[in-house]
Structure 1
Amino acid sequence: MSTNKVWFITGASRGFGRDLVTQLLEQGYRVAATSRNLDELRKIANEDNFLPLTADLGTEASVAKAIADTVERFGRIDVVVNNAGYGQVGGLEELSDEESRANFDINVFGLLNVTRQALPYLRKQGSGHILNISSIAGTIGSFPAFGIYCATKFAVNGLSESLAEEVRPFGIKVTIVAPGYFRTSFLSSGSMSTPKKEIAEYQNVRETQLAHQQHYNGNQPGDPVKAAQAMIKITEVENPPLHLFLGEDALGLAEEKINRLTTEMKEWREITVSTGF
């Protein structure tokens, strides 16, 4: 294991990001971490191996400065973790254009800004590993109330698969990290946004929303410390996975999706193949 690697992590003041920073520093890695709240980052550690940065992921100039400051401080970047994001709850009819686009701005376009600014450094050094923190909701979308959030994570999965092929010739690796339910602050009000305008008829949406806020929150089966350890581990292997599911629940849901697709493809095969000339 090479603890000389430099990690760059977004959304590091809470949740997975914070646990990952803590684990990395304990193991002797050099870490640059971004957040909108610099004071919270500074509470994590005060040592030469740690560079807390404030960054607006929606502004390329801000992202470019954070990346450049990291390279200036540590000389390189080896692992980029696109962790920043939030959950948007609400039925598709309920959520406004503004609410929907805001979720994409952080979860997708913020990730793209970081990736776009980091790649010139990774290409020049001929190595690197990009970890895009997605979700099981990027593989299976059958969650009432989470349609927009699922859409952002499906987008992350799709662009990550393309990215992996584009950067392969440069020695850069890509991993989509897809957690299930982990006991972080993700389901709290600071990390999950609810619709400004609710429609009473969508009882299934309200039931799902309330279940996540009142039942799942604080009772998630996944240990975020172990998730951080798993993410560190895959950056030290020669051939890391493109898709890394975290949690038994995530694995089960992914298998359910695969089985459902397989069944549908077999059932409708005749119509599927009848469309050629």
Structure 2
Amino acid sequence: METKKVWFVTGASKGLGLSLVKQLLDAGHKVAATSRNLSDLQKAVSAESESFLPLAVNIKSEESVEEAITRTVSKFERLDVVVNNAGYGLVGSLEELSDRESRENFDVNVFGLLNVIRKALPQLREQKQGHIINIASIAGFSGLFPGFGIYCATKFAVHGLTESLAAEVKPFGIHTTLVSPGYFRTDFLTSGSLGTPENPLEAYKEVRQTQQMHQEDINGNQPGDPEKAVEVIIKASESKNPPLHLFLGEDSYQLAQDKINLLNKDLEDWKELATKTGFEYAS
């Protein structure tokens, strides 16, 4: 039985996406990989093979995404695993980030991902099998990060739509996995992957401290090994019953547990009042 699959990976020229593409090619899989800049992708992967299809794609454009999916299926004759990895971080308070800055983060992190899902699903439904893996973040489960409100909002959106997607595509034999990494040692916190406000406000000292901590202290010192993270993602894709929720990293697990504990506390503290909100009917 053929165990090698056809993968479609966005945001593949750096970070987790690049590590994933390299490991997949080394394992003999067929990979279509996308980046905004084709030369960056070709330089990063440096693999000339019939199993590798590098694609310049603007995920904000439905036409660009559709063309990439069409070329992938035309070359490899099928599509097995779609990985939505493209995205970027944005740090800044909700007040100081402009409407344009905020919408751009959503356009890439949420609506770009949706473009890929829309264009890939007809092929996956026709095959009656496949796997969609959405790379979110622990910041899509816990939003207690000052200065990351918009970024958290994009990743919370990815969490919500992925859960609904899982329920929608299950009847077609399509698996769905939501990956929520913690801090992994990639270039995610560098200027090329982390946006900052054009008009910062001096009043937000805590936000500036958070920004400085991420750019100067955490960057380059993240505890997570991206190569190991990719190994887990690949193993999840090979499982007969892949997880819907895949938290990656000890820090991600701890932050998730902290959020669950906070939810439980609020639920219990307000249960007596909050559950007595229904209509009362005379017996």
Give the TM-score normalised by the residue count of structure 1.
Answer: 0.99
Q: What is the deviation of 1:48? A: 0.9
Distance 1:4 1:154 in 2: 32
| Secondary structure of residue in 2 paired with 1:162 | helix
RMSD: 0.8
Other-structure match for 2:247? 245
Other-structure match for 1:166? 168
Q: What is the deviation of 1:235? A: 0.6
Other-structure match for 1:15? 15
Distance 1:99 1:192 in 2: 12
Matched letter for residue 97 of structure 1? D
Distance 1:228 1:220 in 2: 16
Distance 2:88 2:34 in 1: 15
| Secondary structure of residue in 1 paired with 2:7 | strand
Matched letter for residue 195 of structure 1? P
Unaligned runs of 5+ in 2: none
Contact persistence 1:2–1:236 (CA under 8 A): no
Distance 1:268 1:125 in 2: 48
Contact persistence 1:58–1:106 (CA under 8 A): yes
Other-structure match for 2:232? 230
Other-structure match for 2:150? 148
Distance 1:59 1:124 in 2: 23
Residues 2-11 or 206-215, more deviating: 2-11
Q: What is the deviation of 1:271? A: 1.5
Other-structure match for 2:121? 119
Contact persistence 1:89–1:149 (CA under 8 A): yes
Matched letter for residue 147 of structure 2? A
Distance 2:114 2:93 in 1: 26
Alignment deviations for residues 76-120 of structure 1 (CA, whole Å, 9 cap, x no partner): 110000000000110000000000000000000000000000000
Give the TM-score normalised by the residue count of structure 2.
Answer: 0.97
Other-structure match for 1:270? 272
Alignment deviations for residues 106-135 of structure 1 (CA, whole Å, 9 cap, x no partner): 000000000000000000000000000000
Distance 1:4 1:29 in 2: 5
Distance 1:271 1:219 in 2: 45
Does structure 1 residue 4 correspond to structure 2 residue 7?
no
Distance 2:2 2:233 in 1: 14
* Equivalent residues, number: 277
Contact persistence 1:29–1:49 (CA under 8 A): yes
Other-structure match for 1:137? 139
Alignment deviations for residues 157-215 of structure 1 (CA, whole Å, 9 cap, x no partner): 00000000000000001000000000000000000000001110111100100000000
Does structure 1 residue 180 correspond to structure 2 residue 182?
yes
> In percent, how many aligned pairs have the same letter?
62
Distance 1:201 1:133 in 2: 33
Other-structure match for 2:39? 39
Matched letter for residue 274 of structure 2? T
Q: What is the deviation of 1:4? A: 2.1
Moved over 4 A (4+): none
